[in-house]
A and B are shown apart, each in its own frame.
Chain A
Amino acid sequence: MFQYIVRRILIAIPVLFGVTVLNFFIINIAPGNPVDMLVNPSATPAQIAMEKQSLGLDQPVWVQYIHWLGELLHGNLGYSYATREPVTQILAAHIGPTVLLMGTALIIGYLIAIPLGILCARKQNSWVDYLVTGFSFFGISVPHFFLGLGVIYVFASKFNILPTGSMNTLGGNGGIIDTVSHLILPASVLAIGIAGNMVRYVRSSMLDVLGKDYLRTAKAKGLRQFMITNKHALRNALIPIITVIGIDIPMLIGGAIVTEQVFQWPGLGLLTINSITSRDYSTLMAINLLAAIAVLLSNLLTDILYAVADPRIRYE
């Protein structure tokens, strides 16, 4: 197992290298450059040329890339073209809020989806099943921004029970209660999408398992239904679901970008959008690298969990 993990990590290195090359060139193919966003209306062409030179943007793209890679290997992600802050510092400030938001959304989503999915499978084709399936389609299809604006309108504007956005009350004491109250709306919006997706997997996986012979045997032995469902069936039903968790992570990153925009959640999603519109190459490259690492890691974690859940799976 240990060898397997090491091997997987080693394979990840060329993959990451390829990702950075692709990203760097794609970002550079996009028209415009950071200086366009930095100049003021009365700047002279000479000033703009000078600015480009000072940022090294007058060099060919491949030279810029090699320079960037060289800096990266020294652990330096460079400076943001926009704010001139070290990129590591910017990322460090934004990673916590995003992990908090996505983690909370993931947990809430699964806490809703797993029991509901089991219920649907147990009561197949009943009104409960139809209702939950209807809810899951709603969760999958409603856009994050629409749902976000909707809940802001209801809970913040209309009834003023929850804040409209950001992570803390400005000028307030901060603290857990304050952060949680800011977290409820964005995390719920993300969770609804995750739950909607997950319910279908849990339901079909559970249906699959419930029809198996060994469960009929368990029933014949006189085991209570509760035990059958939650002990014998659930564990086997979880195996395909673990794969879905791995697929959920990249989806979640995409959803977080939109949700963070709507709720002004100070995480990586908001940073990504702003970096794209200002062509902040260095920040964008760092975010992409981070996202690629997150996806590769979540895939690896999925495979490991797989082995944990199913003793028949062995990695050599």
Chain B
Amino acid sequence: MNVSKSSATKHILKYLLSSFMALTLVLLTACGSGSSGSGGSGKDTITLGMVNPPASFNPINTSDIAGQFAERVMFDSFLDMTSPMKFQPKLANSITTTDDQTYTIHLDPKAKWTDGKPVTADDVVFTFNLIANPASTVAVGSNLSTLEGLDTSGKLAKGQTAIPDLKKIDEHTVSFKTKAPVDPNYIKEMIGTKIITLPQHVLKNIAPKDLANSKYMQAPNVTDGPYKFVTYNNNAYIQYKANDAYYLGKPKIPKFFIKIEQASNLVADLQTGAIQANASGGIGDIPYQDLSTAKGLKNVTTTIHKQIGFQTMQFNTKTLPNPKVRQAIAYAIDRPQIVSKLLKGQGEIIDGPYTSLSPYLDKSLTKYSYDPAKAKQLLKEAGWDFNKTLNFVVPIGNLVRQQSGDIIVQNLKAAGLKVKETTYDFPTIMQKGAAGDFDLLLIGFTFNLDPDVSALYGPGGTYNFMKYSDPAATKLLAEGKAEPNAAKRKVIYNQLQAIWEKDMPVLTLYSNNEIVSISKDLSYGGPTPYWPGTVANFQKWAFKK
């Protein structure tokens, strides 16, 4: 090292500064390329704010709503459910059946992939068989589990590659058969709106086991929806561009973005026009404390929507085997306070897994009221040992739910119960739940509109951490799933709700409404009251002239 003394420092600083400047320039030019056109004010770009990053763009292996939402910008389902049980055609003109067992999908003959090839019956058959292939990794397997020849996970037996009664009738017609008659609404929802057709000519040479890791599934380059995928900048934004040849009409806005951001930034971005709306479906929730700010903004319209998702407190029926104790705890919880305080009144108290959006909610059911005196009395009757400490686990990630945990702890203490609350992140909660390492556990769900909730109440259900198993309820669950007639199903699910109300394996706490804000610059578009309706007509979204 032979540097003259006086200038060494200067050299160091100079070197640091110049290398930093060079680096900055390189990076800026690297980052600055890629997007073109004018900013959000130019009315050629629509941006939606979303809080949860999508887990995947693989249409047959996506379980999160954020991912499903992002996929539906570029991929079409057979049908759209614009509001509960209201279906409208999309890739299929209709799904029909005469006997509730053989179903026929009639594709729109105009539908095309972005490479110009038509969407055909072969693509549908290919997709169904791919999902059912034992070697493929999928999240929508159970959606096909009612089909002839498939197990409860919707898979074929090892070595098989074709679903037995899946037939191509002609270029645009496909039929399939279920094991037994099924409610047509179930098929329309679980297959019509949730199974996304994939292009056979693009994917046929990829082995089913390699599909999930394939390039196509990270950046789908041949799609059939209103917009084409451009790029995904992890955890920052998803960029799309209009599919000008879209068979349902050229999209009115050329550029489409989903911006992934903190919930606390949504209102600021609405105000500055950086986003035109927030995503609905629980993946772009504006925090309740920002509701009055959002309502005060002059450039957006803010509305409140009900949801089908709900929050629960599960009881461990192995450590709390006496239903009387569980009922007592249900009486002890001040749910009205949770809704009024934490949700600013924007939510409903529900008993059972159906919110008021569901046609299967039994409205005649008497709800558990907040009654601490009754709680104490029931605990005494049950001979509860007041020295026992309840192990109460709460997941982080949903602030309102976390705060509701604190209210619940106070309520339980007021009823004379000892309780120890611990918070964990979500994967830990899943593990504790599966291991039965809890007495009380908070967790939220968004199931389908179809009333089958075996995953939560059925023996062996993925989310039945309660280890709840009641012979009468188990039998009814199976009957409800198998009954094709909607009116008869309603009777069955009413009986189930009565049993669950009495047994109290899980206390449903509340279903929170969501706050949706839409820019007044839009003449059409924005989130609809039921999230799957939001993704129905992206091609029609437009700015005011």
* Residue B402 at the chain A interface, CB threshold 8 Å: no
B265: chain A residues within 8 A (beta carbon): 152, 164-165, 264
A120: chain B residues within 8 A (beta carbon): none
Nearest to A167 among chain B residues (CB) is B31
* Residue B3 at the chain A interface, CB threshold 8 Å: yes
A interface, how many residues as a size bin?
Answer: 35 or more
Tally of A-B Cβ pairs under 8 angstroms: 246
In the complex, the answer to whether A170 meets B47 with C-beta atoms within 8 Å is: yes
In the complex, the answer to whether A171 meets B31 with C-beta atoms within 8 Å is: no
* Residue A307 at the chain B interface, CB threshold 8 Å: yes
* Residue B462 at the chain A interface, CB threshold 8 Å: yes
Residue in A41, A44, A82 whose CB lies within 8 Å of B447: A41
* Residue A14 at the chain B interface, CB threshold 8 Å: no
Q: Assuming the A-B contacts A44-B153, A172-B39, are A264 and B142 also in contact, with contact meaning beta carbons closer than 8 angstroms in the complex? A: no
Nearest to B28 among chain A residues (CB) is A176
Q: Which of B16, B37, B217, B262 has the most CB of A within 10 A?
A: B262
Q: For the complex, give the distance between the alpha carbons of A93 and B231 in Å.
A: 12
B12: chain A residues within 8 A (beta carbon): 238, 305, 308-309
Q: 1/0 per residue A8-33: CB within 8 Å of B?
A: 00000000000000000000001111
Give the contacts of A27-66 with B (CB-CB under 8 A): 30-34, 36-48, 50-51, 54
In the complex, the answer to whether A266 meets B235 with C-beta atoms within 8 Å is: yes
Q: For the complex, give the distance between the alpha carbons of A78 and B455 in Å.
A: 32
* Residue B259 at the chain A interface, CB threshold 8 Å: yes
Tell me the minimal C-beta distance from A28 to chain B in angstroms.
12
Stretch in B427-435, B467-475, B491-499 with 4+ CB within 8 Å of A: B427-435
In the complex, the answer to whether A277 meets B426 with C-beta atoms within 8 Å is: yes
In the complex, the answer to whether B272 meets A42 with C-beta atoms within 8 Å is: no
In the complex, the answer to whether B272 meets A160 with C-beta atoms within 8 Å is: yes
Residue in A94, A99, A166, A172 whose CB lies within 8 Å of B38: A172
* Residue A206 at the chain B interface, CB threshold 8 Å: no
Tell me the minimal C-beta distance from B10 to chain A in angstroms.
9
* Residue A104 at the chain B interface, CB threshold 8 Å: yes
A97: chain B residues within 8 A (beta carbon): 27, 31
* Residue B248 at the chain A interface, CB threshold 8 Å: no
B47: chain A residues within 8 A (beta carbon): 170-171
B32: chain A residues within 8 A (beta carbon): 168, 174-176, 178-179
Tell me the minimal C-beta distance from A45 to chain B in angstroms.
6
A43: chain B residues within 8 A (beta carbon): 63, 139, 141-142, 153, 455, 462
Give the contacts of A269-289 with B (CB-CB under 8 A): 270-271, 274, 276-279
Nearest to B19 among chain A residues (CB) is A103
Q: Assuming the A-B contacts A30-B428, A166-B261, A169-B39, are A41 and B462 also in contact, with contact meaning beta carbons closer than 8 angstroms in the complex? A: yes
In the complex, the answer to whether B42 meets A171 with C-beta atoms within 8 Å is: yes
Q: Assuming the A-B contacts A54-B137, A266-B236, A277-B426, are A311 and B1 also in contact, with contact meaning beta carbons closer than 8 angstroms in the complex? A: yes
Q: For the complex, give the distance between the alpha carbons of A231 and B8 in Å.
A: 10
Nearest to B448 among chain A residues (CB) is A42
In the complex, the answer to whether A32 meets B431 with C-beta atoms within 8 Å is: yes
Tell me the minimal C-beta distance from A288 to chain B in angstroms.
17
Stretch in A83-91, A129-137, A212-220 with 4+ CB within 8 Å of B: A83-91
Q: For the complex, give the distance between the alpha carbons of A38 and B137 in Å.
A: 11
In the complex, the answer to whether A170 meets B55 with C-beta atoms within 8 Å is: no
Nearest to B134 among chain A residues (CB) is A50
Give the contacts of A285-314 with B (CB-CB under 8 A): 305, 307-309, 311
Tell me the minimal C-beta distance from A173 to chain B in angstroms.
6
Residues of chain B having any CB pair with chain A under 8 Å = 1, 3, 5-6, 8-9, 11-12, 16-17, 20, 23-24, 27-40, 42, 44-45, 47, 53, 55-56, 58, 63-64, 137, 139-143, 151-153, 209, 212-213, 217-218, 233-237, 239, 255, 257, 259-262, 264-265, 267-269, 271-272, 274, 397, 424-432, 445-448, 454-456, 460, 462-463
What are the 4 tightest A-B residue pairs by CB atom distance, in nearest-first order?
Answer: A32-B427, A40-B63, A171-B45, A266-B236
Listed A/B pairs (7) with beta-carbon separation below 8 Å:
A33-B427, A42-B462, A43-B139, A44-B142, A164-B274, A166-B237, A173-B38
Contacts A43-B455, A43-B462, A83-B218 given; 15 further ones with Cβ under 8 A? A32-B427, A32-B429, A37-B426, A41-B447, A42-B448, A96-B30, A156-B268, A163-B274, A170-B239, A171-B257, A176-B29, A180-B28, A264-B235, A266-B234, A309-B12
